[in-house]
Structure 1
Amino acid sequence: MNYRIITYIVGWVFNLQAIFMVLPILTAVIYGEKDIFAFLAAIIICLVIGLPLTRKKPSNKVFYIKDGCVAVALSWVVLSITGAIPFVLSGSIPHPIDAIFETVSGFTTTGASILAEVESLPKSILFWRSFTHWIGGMGVLVFLLSLLPLAGGYHMNLMRAESPGPSVSKLVPKVQSTAKILYGIYLGMTVLQIIFLLLGGVPLFDTLCITFGSAGTGGFGIKNDSLGSYSTYCQVVTTIFIILFGVNFSAYYLILTKKFKAAFHIEEIRYYFGIILASIILIAINTRHMFSGFAQAFQQSAFQVGSIITTTGYSTTDFNQWPALSKTILVLLMFIGACAGSTGGGIKVSRIILLLKAARKEFQLYLHPNAVKKIKMDQKTVPHETLRSTNIFLSVYLIIFCGSVLLISLDNFDLITNFTAVAATLNNIGPGLEIVGPMGNFSSFSYLSKSVLIFDMLAGRLEIFPLLLLFFKNTWKKF
């Protein structure tokens, strides 16, 4: 374990957090709010810890996958704790666990909230809630890699530990250049959505907050009805962009480099859009009697399907009132999630494809025991290590899911609430059904249950393994 490089990386996360908080301070200045002092205090705390840790560069910059996982997990814990300070000091969310829940939900782009009423909150606090989505969307360590050459040829281990999906690859030979490309695409798409929303007459503050939530596939709303009171134009633009942010960013790089054929032949993306289209049509047909016509049913279905499968969590209607078939489809989409290499959460479409192909291979071997079958994706043979990690991921995922449902059931809520609360947090979605539905929140849960759900949100965002490594004794041995 290279402790020095880990503390150096975590130190830079403290410093970056201080820089990030400058924007809500500017917001507080613009709107003449007193919460500026809460953010200033948080910045001072971050710099007091971060600057000494980064004062001297470590002589040994080599670190391996274990070091990368620990650095990423600790960085996200640091982000969550320091990001909660303004909520507590401003009095917006006085209790530390509630504040950490809200902050973790922001950075992990979950969008689950313990707040029953948000419109009375100061603008600077609302801005910070939404901005945490944008920070966490692509990943703070990916952002750090785009700025600093941290660890020579070994910093791919940081990207692997933070980036979602069964496998992570470089777009170009240098990892730092890959990080810059990813953030360039991320920033470009963010700016595009801002422009489209402004053209539709959406106020600038609202535009920024909605876009931050869309880009990070987060879902914190600045109105009590989420996006329900915004125009159809705003909802349609948001629908398009949240679905686009759920696409593997490698496809956008291929399009930018004019490799159109390669981009449109990515198997995961074809399945992703196929699932979305099929779900929209089924739900629109099933809910058409609840709207003024099929067109409105289709538009509302498209928004909710896009919001759920990309794990954004925005809502325009109370889908808790929809028929059982529609709600069942949405729950299934919670687990499927977006594409690997996107800002979305969930199990990921690519993993679902691999699991189905592995099952088909097993059936074929029953029929033809001596046959040699290889699993392929995008016309490439999938390495055994990728299949093994996918199977292990699903096994651990199910263990955490079942354990979490069991623990929060101590609060004695109904099974649908408990089940979808864990599904919404472990998959980084936000709303569930019943008490935690789109018009509800997570405030009713005990602090024990909230702590369990905080763990689930972090585990879901970090793809489970980096966070779990913190609890293994051998992880901390210095070799």
Structure 2
Amino acid sequence: MRQLMLLRILVLLLGIVALFMVPALGLAIAGGDLPMVKAFALPMGIALILAAPAAVFTRKFPSRLSARDGFLLVFLIWVFSSLMGALPYYLSGQGITFTDAVFESTCGFATTGATTINDVEVLPQPLLLWRSMTHWFGGMGIVMLTVALVPLLGVGGFQLLKAETPGPEKEKITPKVTATAKILWLVYMVLTAVLTVLFALGGMEWFDALCHAFTTMASGGISTKNSGIAYYDSTFIETVCVLFMLLAGLNFNLYYKLFKGKFREIRENTEGRVYLFIFLAATVILTVSLVPVYGSAGSALRYGAYQAASILTTTGSSTADYMQWPGLAKGILLCLMFVGGCSGSTAGGIKVIRHAVLFKQAGNELRRIIYPRGIFSITLNKKVGRRDVVYGVAGFFFLYMAVIAVTALIVAASGTDVVSSFSAALAMVSNVGLGFGTVGPGQTYAAFPNHIKWLFSFVMIAGRLELWTVFVLFTPEYWRR
């Protein structure tokens, strides 16, 4: 019964993902692009044919989820969504292999922003739209979208959200998780709409403006142009990008609190304050180090602020070749790759709140050396934090570094140099996309062997789900009754 329940929910969710191919299919039909019509119609038809009986004949089937079921279901949703999302690439007639198609699709749903496509400007518009939309859906989370739109599934919504976002801070801003999901998605859609208009006002075509808005708000960073945002060479567009990348990297619960007028809670939010401090500090250091490169403080600030926001929020786009920057500037960007955005945001990475917890705990350990009998605790948002939060963060940090190390070693074993191997592993697990060496600005992942691309696809999903959700499935205890 449990297996049938999980299969039913999975098939229904894939049907929902198929419905979101409709805009790309409509664009293909309007443009008379028959190959692209087939590329989208086939996976849509298969998914909907499977989902229809599940919806009609199993409506009264019990579908209450335990936490254990939630972990497995969320992982399967991301895996099968990535596989289904790969079919339009593979069937598009653009010469994209199935492995590369899966890599592209996974990059989209995991909002990594990496690619194996050397020339995106030759891709048909329907495929470019789907490429951007997968980032947008993945940014707020396929599961949260489902919880918001289909409460009639009868699924234990909070179990799914806990499995998808297993960070140190989880908060339902309303008593009902479906209401919470709808509010967060409304904020997400409003910000995306505003960003689209601003991009259009900055000189982008409406199609490009929409695609860039999708990927910027999702902290994805891909573009419809080979050179990305740098193609437009616009200070206005880059400034707007910096602002909305930072907004996307904030905890979305803060927007609800802003709407409710809870300004004190916003001011006292530890993670938000540390997040802005890290961005400002990195921007200042980058600007100072880049003045000799660009010859003026204005240009140095323009490029430094953009790259700081892009790497910090794991958006991973670039407007300059930072491989030519001084060592200090590259060191700052490397450090930012280990940070990530805030919990409850569209950004990936370790998350600022975990760094804040570890920093505070390090201070407590120093004080404990001086006062061995003292009792010390960390404070978050002006409240005393639980001790198990520290344990959880420490365990996560170790697992995070271990996954990066193992991935880097496997990549190095394939013949890639050490710098590129480590950088690619960090970029994949952190969902940044950009790195150093052969995965730096303007580079793609096309040269990696197929088995490495499959490894990257796995660690991208694991990183997007913050590791615990995936690796708990590999423990013997999980499978014991």
TM > 0.5 between the two?
yes
Distance of aligned partners of 1:254 and 1:193 in 2 relative to their CA distance in 1, 3 Å threshold: same
Q: Does 1:469 align with 2:468?
A: no
2:192 corresponds to which residue?
A: 190
Q: Which amino acid aligns with 1:19?
A: L
Distance of aligned partners of 1:153 and 1:60 in 2 relative to their CA distance in 1, 3 Å threshold: closer
The equivalent position to 2:303 in structure 1, one of 297, 300, 303, is 300
Query: How far, CA to CA, are the matches of 1:441 and 1:65 in structure 2?
Result: 38
2:52 corresponds to which residue?
A: 51
Give the stretch that moved more between structures: 17-26 or 144-153: 144-153
Give the stretch that moved more between structures: 188-197 or 157-166: 157-166
Q: Does 1:370 align with 2:373?
A: yes
2:142 corresponds to which residue?
A: 140
Structure 1 spans left out of the alignment, 5+ residues: none
Asked whether the 8 Å contact 1:311–1:429 carries over to 2, the reply is yes
Instruction: Tell me by how many angstroms 1:402 deviates.
Output: 0.8
2:212 corresponds to which residue?
A: 210
Asked whether the 8 Å contact 1:107–1:137 carries over to 2, the reply is yes
Q: Which amino acid aligns with 1:204?
A: W
Distance of aligned partners of 1:84 and 1:390 in 2 relative to their CA distance in 1, 3 Å threshold: same
The equivalent position to 2:93 in structure 1, one of 91, 94, 102, is 91
- Within 5 A, what are the aligned runs for 1:113-262? 113-149=115-151, 154-163=156-165, 165-230=167-232, 231-262=234-265
Structure 2 spans left out of the alignment, 5+ residues: none
Query: How far, CA to CA, are the matches of 1:157 and 1:224 in structure 2?
Result: 40
Query: How far, CA to CA, are the matches of 1:459 and 1:282 in structure 2?
Result: 32
Partner of 2:229, secondary structure, is: coil
1:274 corresponds to which residue?
A: 277
Query: How far, CA to CA, are the matches of 2:111 and 2:100 in structure 1?
Result: 16
Asked whether the 8 Å contact 1:311–1:345 carries over to 2, the reply is yes
Asked whether the 8 Å contact 1:108–1:458 carries over to 2, the reply is yes
Query: How far, CA to CA, are the matches of 2:148 and 2:95 in structure 1?
Result: 33
2:41 corresponds to which residue?
A: 40
1:321 corresponds to which residue?
A: 324
Give the stretch that moved more between structures: 142-151 or 425-434: 142-151
Query: How far, CA to CA, are the matches of 2:373 and 2:360 in structure 1?
Result: 18
Distance of aligned partners of 1:164 and 1:470 in 2 relative to their CA distance in 1, 3 Å threshold: closer
Q: Which amino acid aligns with 1:432?
A: G
Identity of aligned residues (%): 35
2:361 corresponds to which residue?
A: 358
Query: How far, CA to CA, are the matches of 1:59 and 1:349 in structure 2?
Result: 41
Asked whether the 8 Å contact 1:4–1:58 carries over to 2, the reply is no
Asked whether the 8 Å contact 2:65–2:155 carries over to 1, the reply is no
Instruction: Tell me by how many angstroms 1:476 deviates.
Output: 4.5
Distance of aligned partners of 1:26 and 1:404 in 2 relative to their CA distance in 1, 3 Å threshold: same
- Output the TM-score relative to the length of structure 2: 0.96
Q: Which amino acid aligns with 1:336?
A: V
Asked whether the 8 Å contact 1:11–1:54 carries over to 2, the reply is no
1:381 corresponds to which residue?
A: 384
Q: Which amino acid aligns with 2:42?
A: A
Instruction: Tell me by how many angstroms 1:152 deviates.
Output: 6.4
Instruction: Tell me by how many angstroms 1:195 deviates.
Output: 1.6
Give the stretch that moved more between structures: 73-82 or 279-288: 279-288
Alpha-carbon deviations, 1:242-275, whole Å to 9, x = none? 1110001111111001111211221111110111
Asked whether the 8 Å contact 2:318–2:441 carries over to 1, the reply is yes
Alpha-carbon deviations, 1:37-79, whole Å to 9, x = none? 1000110121133223333135433222111111110000011
- Output the TM-score relative to the length of structure 1: 0.96
- Within 5 A, what are the aligned runs for 1:6-85? 6-34=6-34, 35-55=36-56, 56-57=58-59, 59-85=61-87
Q: Which amino acid aligns with 2:214?
A: F
Asked whether the 8 Å contact 1:70–1:469 carries over to 2, the reply is no
Query: How far, CA to CA, are the matches of 1:322 and 1:53 in structure 2?
Result: 55
Q: Which amino acid aligns with 1:23?
A: P
